[in-house]
């Protein structure tokens, strides 16, 4: 399988520059030199906690934000600075908050027609035909087209959001926490719908979430982000069965599981390094149970360890399979 999208050394720095008095403004790197490949037809899950840069990454992938350095290639074509329109033709986005991603003063028809008109340049008969098919595809009724967003529940609004993304006929959809704002009973509806659409339309997903169980259930491959970089990348099952990076291990061990009561956890205060003044070396070192002197000197590169070429981690002292303890899920 060749890479559909290639992301190379992507960084995004906020702030910086100089004030009128010549002093430098503080700057913050939200994404720090990130490389990833997206293969056609896969669902790449991106997990991480708040402040890890996953949303900034998502926005760069669809052109809503421009990378400070690095490149994004789509089928070999460099689209890093091509802008939203060029990317939007092939990469679409589903927002976390379904209600606020729909303009309160436009009907669903206007919202869904916009990509067909501005990106595909379709004539009105063709748009009408596609609109009808589209709403049915996301399990909504055709008469909903004339209604306004506030008349819909969160789950319905999110399906409209998905329909809006599909209207542009993209190859890739970036899903930024698509079910986090929804009630649990509605989450399943949306996840099942996404699953069906993916098969029917041969889509490729980037699924961003903080919820490990959701990511595990939808992803074919998973990337774990910490402090602006990918610390581990692997086929989903492999990673959840036996992670390499201690941070992944911590994440998996922290997720609450129905019917399981955890033993004593380490007394970790869970503070991220100061993003304005990052320490040298591995950013996880201050919290890491396996930390050694070399971790604080240089940043470990993301590379394959002893689990085959697909399973990579950015760690000098990766976990062995036997080291996993205290997080055995019930079978």
Task: Give whole-number Cα distances, 100 to 63, 96, 118, 158, in Å.
Answer: 19, 9, 21, 10
Q: Is 309 a binder of another protein (CB under 8 A)? A: no
Distance CA 91, CA 104 (A): 24
Point out which span in 2-10, 125-133, 165-173, 305-313 binds another protein (CB under 8 A): 165-173
Distance CA 217, CA 295 (A): 32
Compare residues 240 and 316 and give the one whose CB is closer to another protein: 240
Point out which span in 256-264, 288-296, 299-307, 308-316 binds another protein (CB under 8 A): 256-264
CB 7 within 8 A of CB 79: no
> How many helices (H) and strands (E) in the chain?
9, 12
Candidates 228, 236, 275, 318; binder of another protein (CB under 8 A) is 236
Compare residues 157 and 295 and give the one whose CB is closer to another protein: 157
- E strands in 227-300: 229-235
CB 116 within 8 A of CB 130: yes
Compare residues 35 and 82 and give the one whose CB is closer to another protein: 82
Largest CA distance in the chain: 67
Q: Is 268 a binder of another protein (CB under 8 A)? A: yes
Residue numbers 135-154 binding another protein by CB under 8 A: 139-141, 144, 147-148, 150-153
Q: Is 216 a binder of another protein (CB under 8 A)? A: yes
Candidates 156, 158, 229, 248; binder of another protein (CB under 8 A) is 156
Point out which span in 4-12, 94-102, 122-130, 296-304 binds another protein (CB under 8 A): 94-102
């Amino acid at each position: 399988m060749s890479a559909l999208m290639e992301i190379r050394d992507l960084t995004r720095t906020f702030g910086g520059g100089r004030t009128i008095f010549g002093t430098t403004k503080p700057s913050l790197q939200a994404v720090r030199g990130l490389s990833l490949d997206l293969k056609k037809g896969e669902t790449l899950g991106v997990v991480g906690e708040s402040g890890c840069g996953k949303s900034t990454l998502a926005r760069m992938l669809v052109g809503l934000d421009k990378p400070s350095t690095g490149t994004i290639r789509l089928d070999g074509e460099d689209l890093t600075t091509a802008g939203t329109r060029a990317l939007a033709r092939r990469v679409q986005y589903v927002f976390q908050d379904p209600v606020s991603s729909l303009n309160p003063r436009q009907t669903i028809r206007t919202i869904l027609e916009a990509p067909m008109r501005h990106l595909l340049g379709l004539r009105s008969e063709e748009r009408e035909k596609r609109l009808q098919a589209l709403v049915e595809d996301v399990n909504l009724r055709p008469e909903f087209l004339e209604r306004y967003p506030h008349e819909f529940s969160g789950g319905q609004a999110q399906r409209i959001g998905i329909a809006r993304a599909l209207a542009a006929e993209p190859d890739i959809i970036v899903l930024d926490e698509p079910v986090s704002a929804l009630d649990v009973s509605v989450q399943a509806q949306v996840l099942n719908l996404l699953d069906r659409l993916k098969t029917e339309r041969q889509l490729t997903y980037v699924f961003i979430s903080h919820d490990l169980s959701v990511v595990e259930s939808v992803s074919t491959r998973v990337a774990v982000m910490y402090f602006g970089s990918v610390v581990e990348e692997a086929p989903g099952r492999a990673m959840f069965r036996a992670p390499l990076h201690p941070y992944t291990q911590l994440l998996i061990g922290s997720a609450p599981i129905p019917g399981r009561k955890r033993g004593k956890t380490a007394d970790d205060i869970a503070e991220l390094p100061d993003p304005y003044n990052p320490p040298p070396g591995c950013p996880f070192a201050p919290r890491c149970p396996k930390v050694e002197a070399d971790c604080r000197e240089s940043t470990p590169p993301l590379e394959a360890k002893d689990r085959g070429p697909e399973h990579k981690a950015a760690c000098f002292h990766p976990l062995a399979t036997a080291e996993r303890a205290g997080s055995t899920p019930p079978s």
